[in-house]
Amino acid sequence: NAGVTQTPKFQVLKTGQSMTLQCAQDMNHNSMYWYRQDPGMGLRLIYYSASEGTTDKGEVPNGYNVSRLNKREFSLRLESAAPSQTSVYFCASSERLAGYTDTQYFGPGTRLTVL
Amino acid sequence: QKEVEQNSGPLSVPEGAIASLNCTYSDRVSQSFFWYRQYSGKSPELIMSIYSNGDKEDGRFTAQLNKASQYVSLLIRDSQPSDSATYLCAVKGYGGATNKLIFGTGTLLAVQP
């Protein structure tokens, strides 16, 4: 099992360009998440999908959109990239959102630089 | 006040010593507590979870939870240079708006050979 995979690993964009970060999991998990990690800020939740067909905003959703394509895949789109979106983006998945023992597993991350 | 607080470190310990990492949280309804290890340039990986007051041991790692005082700690015995990483504390509530994982900013641990 690959676990959680993300593409691309690295990306450089110019301000105003758009791109989609892809995430897939092969653990048959119901819930998926997108985080960004910035120095001194920790991991912050951008969007999450509790189950296939549902998506909800997290702590820092502005400037992003998501699509839960199917149970395996959850993509994050930047419509008009800004330098403030320079960050490391992690996708994660878990069996279900509401279980208190639910553990999140992380993908390898995408390092995005917006010039 | 941040929801989950950790000392950013670096915490420097000699090889073979016990490393003690601490975390406090503000939301009293928090039910689940996780410690993730993150090597530089890598993704977080779960090393311990704890849900009840007291100690939970797994190999060289011991997690300690005190819900009354709202803190959770991680002890690493016989620290090794390979333990050098950032340790993230994460806290989760149960039900409704509180069921998302909230992360601290992490403590950088440096184990000196």
Q: Band of the pLDDT at A87, cuts 50, 70, 90?
A: very high
Q: Band of the pLDDT at A91, cuts 50, 70, 90?
A: very high
Contacts of residue B50 in chain A, CB cutoff 8 Å? none
* CB-based contact, B37 to chain A, within 8 Å: no
pLDDT tens by residue, B66-78:
999 999 999 999 9
pLDDT tens by residue, B5-64:
998 889 999 999 999 999 999 887 788 999 999 999 999 999 999 999 999 999 999 999
A100 closest CB neighbour out of B32, B44, B88: B32
Angle A76-A77-A78 from CA coordinates, rounded to 5°? 130
Residue whose token pair is 């676990």: A3
Q: Are B37 and B85 in contact (CB under 8 A)?
A: yes
Among B105, B102, B36, which Cα is nearest to B74's?
Answer: B36
B99 closest CB neighbour out of A42, A97, A107: A97
User: Nearest residue on chain A to B43, judged by CA atoms?
Assistant: A108
Query: So what's the pLDDT on residue B24?
Result: 95
Contacts of residue B99 in chain A, CB cutoff 8 Å? 97-98, 100
Residues 6+ apart with CB under 8 A from B80: B15, B111
Query: CB atoms < 10 A from the CB of A92, how many?
Result: 25
| Min Cα separation B92/chain A (Å) | 7
Note the residue count of chain B: 113
Looking at this protein, which amino acid is placed at residue B18? I
**Mean pLDDT across chain A, nearest whole number?**
93
Query: So what's the pLDDT on residue B23?
Result: 96
For B19-58, give the DSSP string: EEEEEEE--TT--EEEEEEE-TTS--EEEEEE-SSEEEEE
Note the residue count of chain A: 115
Give the residue-averaged pLDDT of A72-86: 97
Segment 41-80 of chain B within 8 Å of chain A by CB: 42-46, 49, 51
pLDDT tens by residue, A49-70:
998 999 999 999 999 999 998 9
Judge whether residue B111 has pLDDT over 80.
Answer: yes
Query: CB atoms < 10 A from the CB of B54, how many?
Result: 9
